[in-house]
Amino acid sequence: MGLYRIEDGALTPVESTRFAEDDIRERADLQRMLREAIGVVVPGAMVLAEEFSDWEDSRRRIDLLCLDEDANLVVVELKRGETGAHMELQALRYAAMVSGMTFARAVSAHERFLSAREAEADAEERILGFLGWDEPDEDTFARDVRIVLVAADFSTEITTTVLWLIERGLDIRCVRMYPHRLGDQTLVSVEQVIPLPSAEAYQVRLREKSVGARESRLGKRCFTGYWFFNVGEHDGPGNHRSWDDSREHGFLSAGGKSVEQIVGLRPGDRVLAYRNGHGYVGAGVVTTKATHWQDFEVDGRGIGDLSLMRPLPPPGGDRARQEHFVGIRWLKTVDRGQAVKAAFRRPTACRIRDHALVAEVLAGLSLDGTDWPG
């Protein structure tokens, strides 16, 4: 859409330009300006952090991490170019990686943000004041993550992907910032192009109807090719499973009624490991069928010969219900503090039929389909 000025009773087009031509840099200029006026692209939001990278791979940085008035996180990804350069894929990865952020972590990130700007305000007070809260509410904080893509323009690949994601319930938006030159001034037009503001409510209703119809038509969703496995670790007395043991020696185990579930695993199956109270902590490939603990070996050594952090349960009772093990070749494991917060299933081991869940966990673990054998 062009920009015009009224001159001598006529419409005169304002010359369009490019940010690069006007020596307006992406991070040092555009990002800095939006940081100080985030409402231009995300109305009703505050900036929590800039260049946020609270994970191991410091190369991955969120341009601006924000918080909206409903206590949802907002990932703002910025490109000064006119194609977007796969920014939607980056933003999806970042959204998954911050989805488990707690209020305390948000305060810590905001403290670093304020410190870098030499601001003396109290980070927790600023966040509570913005939300209108008297005290932190972990149950309400960061229940969802929104995505806002900001660029001079967007390629057809990006717009097609964004529309598809919107149909499937993701809150993702494209905001176009396009520069114009008027004399010695640079003007910027800003407009949300997807979804169109005038049609947003209608699109929400249409999306809900489409999702409901699709689920009704398909009934049971198809298997994703990934298994969920609850490592079941807890800190109470009597616990005999340790995530540290599993990741170090390459195995998963289950006993009691859960043996019926673990025997369903076969060599080559892909597994996403979930740690109670924390989230997804690993992804790996099954290397052996389920075996009774007395017959299971790791590099030729029996389980009883390993130096485990947690002792095995005492033998007794029905052998078929005693602890069984499967070997795992881990592709990625993380500590509890870096666990990917996402939905979980109650059985110890089960097939995952939620494709969005798999995508979210893999992104949070910095994995994709190419990382897996076969």
Question: Residue 310's pLDDT is what?
Answer: 64
- The model carries a pTM of 0.54
What span, in angstroms and rounded, lies between the C-alpha atoms of 121 and 181?
Answer: 38
- 15-16 and 45-52 beta bridge pairing: unpaired
Question: Residue 221's pLDDT is what?
Answer: 56
Domain 226-371, second-level architecture:
Roll (3.10)
What span, in angstroms and rounded, lies between the C-alpha atoms of 109 and 91?
Answer: 18
The secondary structure of 164-216 as a DSSP string is HHHHTT--EEEEEEEEEEETTEEEEEEEEEES-GGGHHHHHHHHHHHHHHHHH
What span, in angstroms and rounded, lies between the C-alpha atoms of 374 and 4?
Answer: 57
Side-chain half-sphere CA neighbours of 217 within 13 A: 6
233 closest CA partner among 154, 373, 336:
336
Question: Residue 321's pLDDT is what?
Answer: 76
% of residues, the chain, pLDDT over 90? 19
What are the backbone angles phi and psi of residue 148, rounded to the nearest 5°? Answer: -125, 120
Fold of 4-214: Trna Endonuclease; Chain: A, domain 1 (3.40.1350)
Side-chain half-sphere CA neighbours of 203 within 13 A: 19
Question: What would the two tokens of residue 112 be?
Answer: 């670093």
Question: What would the two tokens of residue 372 be?
Answer: 């897996």
SS3 127: helix
The average pLDDT across 58-69 equals 85
pLDDT of residue 106 exceeding 90 = yes
Domain ranges of the chain: 4-214, 226-371
44 closest CA partner among 132, 137, 114:
132
Each residue's pLDDT tens digit, 205-246? 555 555 555 544 444 457 788 999 988 664 444 456 788 888
Looking at the chain, list the stretches that DSSP marks H as alpha helix, in order from N- to C-terminal side. 32-36, 87-98, 103-116, 123-131, 156-167, 200-218, 243-249, 259-262, 355-364
Each residue's pLDDT tens digit, 3-25? 888 888 888 888 887 777 777 77
More confident residue, 346 or 135: 135
What span, in angstroms and rounded, lies between the C-alpha atoms of 333 and 232?
Answer: 16
Mean model confidence pLDDT for the chain = 81
| Lowest model confidence (mean pLDDT) among 303-307, 331-335, 358-362 | 303-307
